[in-house]
Amino acid sequence: MPSETLNLAVIIGSVREGRFGPVVANWFTERARRDSRFTVDLIDLADTPLPLELPSLPPALEPNMARPAEMADLTRRIEAADAIVVVTPEYNRSFPASLKAVIDWHYTEWETKAIGFVGYSGASGGLLAVEQLRQVFGELYAHTVRNYVSFPRYYELFAPDGALKDPEGPDGAAKAMLDELLWWGSILHDARRDRPYATRG
């Protein structure tokens, strides 16, 4: 699909009161929207109820599992994405429960999609959360790309208006990740169209 734009969903993973996630996500989304190769959809998990209690059968065993009606738009937007960037903080050396909930409420929507990460935290820049998310998405037949964007001590890096004080490094990291997402996302898009991937017998 070289002549088309790739559908990129950017997910704000934190729903905590006072969260910094929207600042990071808005920076990345603005950066991605300047790239004419992508159509960008910013998804804020705070906008959709994400119950932590799942039905008795998980989506992997029950692909037509009924979800809460309020989740329909979120499910449609994830399904429509060719590539996904997860913006995640790091809570207690891991990622937030809101991300685990949205992942577990879905299954086929993640399959054979290209996944990238933007992490932020005090010390590691969210890399501990990102490494755990790589394992989770691998179980769901998604492909996580190598390149990522990381903001250690994020509270020192952004100005009050949400702009980066020194954008050169993060801009370069974002471009590298977007380049990789474009390649994998395009390849996987065409593969899903031409040769659907059967994960269940």
* Structural domain that includes position 153: 6-194
The DSSP 8-state label assigned to residue 166 in this structure reads S
pLDDT tens, residue by residue, 136-176: 999 999 999 999 999 999 999 999 999 999 999 999 999 99
Query: Is residue 1 assigned to a domain?
Result: no
Domain count, the chain: 1
CA angle centred on 92, ends 128 and 13, rounded to 5°: 70
Least Cα distance to 111 among 190, 199, 43 occurs for 199
Query: Is residue 189 assigned to a domain?
Result: yes
Query: Is residue 31 assigned to a domain?
Result: yes
115: domain CATH number is: 3.40.50.360
Query: Is residue 105 assigned to a domain?
Result: yes
Which pTM value belongs to this model?
0.94
Question: Hey, what amino acid is at 82?
Answer: D
Interatomic CA distance for residues 22 and 20, integer angstroms: 6
pLDDT tens, residue by residue, 45-86: 999 999 988 888 777 667 677 889 999 999 999 999 999 999
Interatomic CA distance for residues 7 and 113, integer angstroms: 11
Q: What percent of the chain has pLDDT over 90?
A: 86
Query: Is residue 99 assigned to a domain?
Result: yes
CA angle centred on 44, ends 141 and 187, rounded to 5°: 35
Query: Is residue 200 assigned to a domain?
Result: no
